[in-house]
Amino acid sequence: MSKCNNCGNMNGPDSNFCRACGQKMIGPQTFAPPQAQPFDHSAPRPYSWKTDEFSTNTEARKQIPTAPINQPIELRPPVGLANYRCPYCTSTYLPRHERKISTAGWITFAVLLVFFFPLFWVGFLIKEDTFVCPSCLKKVN
């Protein structure tokens, strides 16, 4: 047993570091002689499975998807995807695409409901594309 020079705690003779404070042990250390292995393979390093020392990441990084060029301008997000910021709440979450009944659709619905009841549902078919911020739920461009 050897005594730590920093905290005075007693450690085993084969300790390189103090178990209490972590200070490197100074002085002669006695090590047990290596024992002959009865098997033909070497023993694995202790805790080698817990580290990522030998693993490498060879996969490509994930990229933010961009709007296709052939998509109509009305369906593209209002601002570039890489540096989008909501003008109301300044959040960086991308806007949510929603398809709602337009103002013209509601007017058509009301007029057909009053004058020609069987076709009142036609107003529900007139829709518009909108982008909504998922944080503040306000319409963005």
- Note the pLDDT of residue 85: 84
Per-residue exposure over 92-128, b if at least 16 CB sit within 10 Å of its own CB, e if not: eebbeeeeeeeeebeebbeebeeeeeeebeebeeeee
Report the C-alpha gap between 5 and 26 in whole angstroms. Answer: 8
* Structure token digits, residue 138: 């306000």
- Note the pLDDT of residue 113: 93
- Note the pLDDT of residue 107: 95
- Residue keyed to tokens 């540096």: 83
Per-residue pLDDT of the chain (141 residues; tens, 9 = 90+): 788 888 888 888 888 888 888 888 876 555 555 666 566 667 666 665 555 555 666 777 776 666 555 655 555 555 445 577 888 998 888 888 999 999 999 999 999 999 999 999 999 999 999 999 989 999 987
- Residue keyed to tokens 């078919």: 125
